[in-house]
């Protein structure tokens, strides 16, 4: 299952996309052919003649870190795997790895980056093209993340020949939830692979690739962190990078540090401090400790190409932009309105202005994430009420539909359903020409459901009409 770049959307989506990349003349031409489905957008578009584009000042240089998946297979079967390999070895029947042609489409982004990271979705070394992909970075810093299981001496030599800068081993110690499920045999295998890399480098008289270890923390391996520091030092690693296991189910939650976040936070920070004092660089993201909250380390810095390579992510989390990469330049895409608005939301630095996914992000706000992860008895189901509201709206029973949408906003624990409900309330305000109220409701729409393309088009035009956030 290859994701196609040229599966151009219908006329309405083309028009919305044109708005979001600031091509308002193209949007007008397209909407002349519209059957009335976007009459609200057409009306607003006619009101923004000669008005300044929204958030023009929030452009940015192209991302300095490009992260790209190259393989969609993995044979380890880790319980904690968020990529879907816990119970399978391949994500797709007909899509095993990125082709050279697909990778070349990312080269315009790589050419301007300062760091290229070759990482999951699956096992990086499963890709038969990985050595050529590393070479295409043209000597700039590169990091390849692997479990280490498929690594052989011949592959190490080929990585050295490809000028790989750093090889990062995903190794979590002894834990049933981590890589290798806590098997002692697995641990020995990975440590032997690290030794093999260092021995091969010595044999060839080279210093790179450097060794880096990524450790995913849970409550079963926190007490091994000091030991991992000493192990990394003994293996001449340059960095121990820490992240937190994000639980996918109740069983994983019981093994996570979120069962008693403050307790484990204190223990982890002590170990980080100890490791750095001993001369090893130990990091949690870009920080030297796990804080209750911290600014996002990814905004304006990275772009991640994962499964759908024409729909990249701005971070390691769930934020998706409402438009895909098409044929425009990287600069046009990177500085399109959804990216500018994302910067605007983060520039505010307040919980109320952040996307919901960012406000409870495990890296930005671990304490809030911990609270979000705690089991709750919320039996409310938004879907049936949402369907009913749609029927009521279609039958011009707006007051009853509005009541349903507001109930979803009040009771649903899922931000996506909240965002969808906010959208319908906002669109109704547009119909009544209550633009300030609509503007605020569309803000809530994209806060909760960031990939809502139509909401973004409305927000764009309302910002122009109301003169909001132009500086």
pLDDT tens figures, 190-213: 999 999 999 999 999 999 999 999
Output the pLDDT for position 8.
46
Judge if pTM exceeds 0.85. yes
Select from 3.40.50.300, 3.90.850.10, 1.25.40.10, 3.40.50.12160 the CATH code of 382-466: 1.25.40.10
Contact (Cβ atoms closer than 8 angstroms) between residue 157 and residue 200: yes
Superfamily of domain 65-284: Aldolase class I (3.20.20.70)
E strands, 296-380, in order: 302-305
Q: Which residues pair with 143 in a beta bridge?
A: 117, 166
The pair phi, psi for residue 200, each rounded to 5°, is -65, -40
Output the pLDDT for position 382.
94
Per-residue tokens: 203: 């044999």
Output the pLDDT for position 367.
80
Helix axis angle, 225-234 relative to 261-277, nearest 10°?
A: 20
Per-residue tokens: 296: 């996002």
For residue 129, what pLDDT band results from cuts at 50, 70 and 90?
very high
Instruction: Return the percentage of the chain with pLDDT > 70, whole number.
Output: 93
Per-residue tokens: 196: 């093999």
pLDDT tens figures, 390-443: 999 999 999 999 999 999 999 998 999 999 999 999 999 999 999 999 999 999
pLDDT tens figures, 35-49: 888 999 999 999 998
pLDDT at residue 372 greater than cutoff 70: yes
For residue 466, what pLDDT band results from cuts at 50, 70 and 90?
very high
Q: What residue spans define the domains of the chain?
A: 11-45, 65-284, 382-466
DSSP H/E element including 14 = helix 11-20
Q: Which residues pair with 281 in a beta bridge?
A: 239
Distances, alpha carbon 393 to alpha carbons 155, 162, 317, 405, 456, in Å: 61, 59, 34, 11, 22
Which one-letter DSSP state was computed for residue 207? Answer: -
């Amino acid at each position: 299952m290859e994701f196609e770049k040229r599966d151009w959307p219908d006329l309405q989506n083309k028009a919305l996309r044109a708005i979001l990349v600031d091509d308002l003349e193209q949007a007008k031409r397209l909407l002349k052919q519209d059957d009335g489905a976007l009459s609200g957008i057409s009306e607003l578009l006619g009101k923004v003649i000669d008005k300044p584009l929204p958030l023009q000042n929030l452009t940015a240089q192209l991302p300095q870190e490009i992260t790209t998946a190259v393989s969609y297979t993995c044979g380890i079967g880790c319980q904690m795997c968020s990529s879907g390999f816990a119970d399978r070895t391949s994500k797709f029947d007909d899509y095993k790895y990125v082709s050279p042609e697909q990778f070349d489409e990312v080269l315009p982004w790589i050419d301007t980056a300062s760091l290229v990271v070759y990482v999951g979705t699956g096992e990086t070394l499963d890709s038969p093209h990985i050595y050529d992909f590393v070479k295409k970075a043209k000597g700039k810093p590169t990091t390849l993340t692997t479990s280490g299981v498929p690594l052989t001496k011949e592959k190490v030599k080929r990585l050295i020949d490809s000028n790989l800068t750093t090889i990062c081993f995903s190794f979590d110690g002894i834990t049933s939830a981590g890589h290798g499920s806590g098997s002692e045999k697995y641990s020995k295998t990975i440590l032997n692979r690290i030794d093999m890399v260092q021995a091969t480098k010595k044999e060839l008289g080279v210093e790179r690739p450097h060794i880096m270890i990524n450790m995913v923390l849970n409550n079963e391996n926190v007490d091994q962190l000091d030991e991992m520091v000493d192990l990394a030092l003994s293996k001449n690693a340059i960095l121990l990078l820490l992240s937190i296991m994000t639980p996918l189910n109740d069983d994983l939650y019981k093994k996570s540090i979120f069962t008693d976040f403050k307790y484990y936070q204190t223990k982890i920070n002590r170990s980080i401090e100890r490791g750095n004092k001993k001369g090893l660089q130990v990091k949690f993201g870009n920080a030297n400790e796990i804080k209750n909250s911290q600014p996002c380390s990814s905004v304006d810095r990275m772009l991640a190409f994962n499964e759908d390579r024409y729909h990249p992510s701005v971070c390691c989390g769930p934020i998706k932009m409402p438009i895909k990469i098409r044929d425009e330049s990287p600069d046009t895409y990177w500085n399109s309105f959804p990216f500018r608005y994302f910067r605007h939301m983060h520039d505010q630095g307040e919980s109320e202005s952040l996307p919901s996914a960012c406000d409870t992000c495990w890296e930005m706000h671990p304490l809030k994430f911990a609270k979000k992860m705690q089991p709750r008895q919320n039996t409310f189901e938004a879907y049936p009420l949402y369907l009913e509201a749609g029927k009521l709206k279609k039958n011009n029973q707006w007051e009853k539909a509005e009541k349903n949408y507001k109930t979803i906003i009040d009771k649903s624990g899922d931000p996506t359903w909240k965002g969808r409900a906010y959208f319908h309330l906002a669109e109704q305000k547009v119909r009544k020409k209550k633009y300030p109220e609509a503007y605020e409701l569309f803000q809530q729409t994209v806060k909760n459901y960031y990939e809502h393309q139509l909401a973004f088009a409305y927000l764009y035009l309302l910002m122009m009409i109301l003169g909001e956030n132009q500086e």
